Structure 1
Amino acid sequence: MSRRARAVALIMALLTVPVVACGSGAGGGDALVIYSGRNEGLVGGVLDQLEQATGVDVEVRYGSSGEMAAQLLEEGDGTRADVFFSQDAGALGAVAEQGRLAELPSDVLDLVPAEYRADDGRWVATSARARVVAYDPRVVTEAELPQSLDDVVDPKWKGRIGYAPTNGSWQAFVTSVRVLKGEEFAKDWLRRFAANEPKRYDNNIAILNAVDDGQLPAGLINHYYWYAKVAENGADAVKVKLHHVSGGDPLGLVNVAGAGVIAGNDRNDAAVKAVRFLLSEQAQRYFADETAEYPANPSVKSSKHQLPALTELNGPDIDLSKLSSLQQTLALLQEAGLS
């Protein structure tokens, strides 16, 4: 099997629902086509702003990042896609490794810190999110909260932690454990995690709601879901709290959403313009205020949410480009019964 065929087979293993095509502009052959692995409810607004700000008609296809990556690899040079907008660095890296992303100009790359862009310049982060432990302070004290990977697999947490096995952020987290700690450590940790009988949920929101409703003591999620819940319901109505794990432990992984321009497309200038817009102050403030993510452009701060600064989180030091090694992660998850 060729390298490209293996990559397609790998990413197709992530697929769980059909790709949904949605037009956010006039569409047609001259429209800029974005394959978005980000949910329309989260980023539809900023993609509408992109169309208005750039004057370029935009057509968007929504699905999971794995779906969009697989679609790009299947379509090859015949794809209509111009931009890949991904939920995580892993999917971007997988597509870039197959030569499907073009190198971005330096004036775009320089808008974000070096750690938030590909080493070869083929993708750039648009926002960042931190892995956190959501917990119920009514049943869990701060002293009991996990401070490391080892704490999560302590028998005292048996049946008391939720996770979302099909979620890309969970898979990226496990990949970070492999990259940072090695294959044998990751294999043993997953075995111990599975033995602790974690509770399976469809997504981060379901985990957060279960903790808030008193059905689950704690769960592994991304930070911004909590901020969205507080914004919707008010702080007094939300019981669940967030715990950040520091000390460079993978439990505190800071991952990114990002974008890249499809190599060989006929609308390269418009595609680069779109990626540049996603790093503009207008778009970065959208991510900061509307989705409660960390802007990739460090000069932009949220005026709505009181997020701890990224520099205060002390997450693991990791090359996000290495999160593309999904094949090994999926194999370990399947072996441990956690896929």
Structure 2
Amino acid sequence: MPRPRVPRCVRVAVAALAAVAVAAPLTACGSSPDLTIYSGRNEQLVGGLLEKLEERVGGTVEVRYGGSAELAAQLLEEGAGTEADVFFSQDAGALGALDDANRLEPLPPAALDAVPAAYRADDGSWVATSARSRVLFYDPRQVSGADLPATLDAVTDPRWRGKIGYAPTNASWQAFVTGVRVLRGEEGARAWLQAFGANQPVRFDNNIQILDAVNAGQIALGLSNHYYWYERVAEVGEQAVPARVHYVPGGDPLGLVNVAGAGVVAGTAQQEMARRAVEFLVSPEAQQYFADETAEYPVRAGVASTRHTLRPLDQLQPPDIDLSDLASLQQSLTLLQETGLA
């Protein structure tokens, strides 16, 4: 007899600043599951994968969805009394914050050794499950390949005044700014943000709107993540997508590669099952899911997308940064407010 499906819990996200500081209680779910996952990844993206995870860990699984920063704050507030066994984060910063607070347990070699050292915590507390690259969407009708910005500072050139889009409330923009802070220091990041703001960038609510605006010729450039373009191409075909993707080379901050990842919550009574869950997320099956269904980069060697022609991850040239250092999101939000780019 098939096992009944466990109800999935979804709660409404609060504003980004409030989410980092204080997270509201999660919506209650039904009877006690064997394993509880707090997922900062959207249900539409990973719901199907987490249903497969339930089959692999050998028990019932409850998933509670929300923003990654919000759920990390929730875990810190709940402390040892949390019901969470696994934290599945949209970005490395939230994982780093929990690691700094000693709220994650060391992972087994089977999970850690599945990915390169750059995509796991130095202390083995979390492991990346997929990666995404910051890119520039550009309109080739307005910008030639030779004129594309090659550095972070190049996007502040007056030639791009009023012609470059960004999504200030998007978590990926905030994590990117955190990366700039880590790489350039507080004052270096402030100087760049002030120069960027003086160039009159165009604000959008999300990255999809940025891609739409570049496609329509409304802006020449857009700061975003790579997978939005690949997903659009998979939907409508490359000929119907005027925009193109520019990967910034040379280890520049503009080419930051961030990751989604997972860790086992400290003190869980389901340690073995929780570890199996994380191991599944870096398994070939799960990595193929990310490569095909979400157009993200698999972090396990030997896995390639069968649907998207992604540039290989090992051919990208991101800046040299410890992704755990992206945990200082609150300082970035404060800096963005102070520079008028929040």
Normalized against structure 1, the TM-score is what? 0.91
Out of 182, 190, 193, the residue aligned to residue 190 of structure 1 is 193
The offset of 1:299, in angstroms, is: 2.2
Unaligned runs of 5+ in 1: 1-9
Q: Does 1:279 align with 2:279?
A: no
The question of whether the paired residues in 2 share the 8 Å contact of 1:14 and 1:166 is answered with: no
Q: What letter is aligned with 1:43?
A: V
Aligned to 2:32: 29
Normalized against structure 2, the TM-score is what? 0.91
The 2-side partners of 1:21 and 1:88 are apart by 23
Aligned to 2:136: 133
Q: Over aligned residue pairs, what C-alpha RMSD do you find?
A: 2.0
The 2-side partners of 1:252 and 1:98 are apart by 29
Q: Does 1:80 align with 2:83?
A: yes
The 2-side partners of 1:44 and 1:120 are apart by 29
The question of whether the paired residues in 2 share the 8 Å contact of 1:11 and 1:69 is answered with: no
Unaligned runs of 5+ in 2: 1-15
The question of whether the paired residues in 2 share the 8 Å contact of 1:11 and 1:67 is answered with: no
Out of 291, 294, 310, the residue aligned to residue 291 of structure 1 is 294
The question of whether the paired residues in 2 share the 8 Å contact of 1:94 and 1:324 is answered with: yes
Aligned to 2:230: 227
Give the 3 Å change call, closer, same or farther, for CA 272–166 of structure 1 in structure 2: same
1:211-238, Cα deviation, whole Å (9 max, x unpaired): 1122222111110111111111111111
The offset of 1:158, in angstroms, is: 1.1
Q: Which runs of 4+ in 1 moved over 6 A?
A: 15-20
The question of whether the paired residues in 2 share the 8 Å contact of 1:22 and 1:60 is answered with: no
More displaced 10-residue stretch of structure 1: 284-293 or 30-39: 30-39
The question of whether the paired residues in 2 share the 8 Å contact of 1:20 and 1:61 is answered with: yes
Aligned to 2:258: 255
The offset of 1:105, in angstroms, is: 1.4
The question of whether the paired residues in 1 share the 8 Å contact of 2:160 and 2:199 is answered with: yes
The offset of 1:176, in angstroms, is: 1.2
Identity, in percent, stands at: 62
The 1-side partners of 2:26 and 2:245 are apart by 33
Q: Does 1:335 align with 2:334?
A: no
The 2-side partners of 1:94 and 1:146 are apart by 32
Q: What letter is aligned with 1:141?
A: S
The offset of 1:143, in angstroms, is: 2.1
The aligned runs of 1:53-132 (5 Å cut-off) are: 53-132=56-135
Q: What letter is aligned with 2:293?
A: E
The question of whether the paired residues in 1 share the 8 Å contact of 2:287 and 2:303 is answered with: yes
Aligned to 2:248: 245
Q: Does 1:154 align with 2:139?
A: no
